[in-house]
Amino acid sequence: MKKKKRRPSPNEYRLIYRINGAEQKSTQYYSGFHSSEALESLAHAFRKDRIHGGKLEILEIEERKSFERGWECRKEEAVEQTKIPELDREGDRIYFRLSN
């Protein structure tokens, strides 16, 4: 009997961000095969005005660890693999800015 090939399953990503320098943090969860997909989904929601504000500061991009409790930082990998035009870096800080 022929063995079935298993498709890779998507990972769960948690993005923590701050809108317009607010004190309170916001969190969104996404599924995808790479952390850059989650970052691009957040950028799309921001562009389409589903997240209101002129500037988002990305605080964390984390991947849920399989078979363990907790999250692993994937911020640098996500930023390196994405080509989002609104993405801006100031030192170690990452922002989305809408150009009006």
| Residue 67 CB burial class (10 angstroms; 0-12, 13-18, ≥19) | exposed
The whole model's pTM is what? 0.85
Backbone angles phi, psi at 95, to 5 degrees: -130, 155
CA 47/CA 29 separation, integer angstroms: 17
Q: Is the pLDDT of residue 1 over 80?
A: no
Q: Express each pLDDT in 46-98 by its tens digit.
A: 888 888 888 899 999 999 998 888 999 999 999 999 888 888 888 888 998 87
Do 25 and 59 form a contact (C-beta atoms < 8 A)? yes
Q: Express each pLDDT in 13-39 by its tens digit.
A: 999 999 988 899 999 999 999 999 999
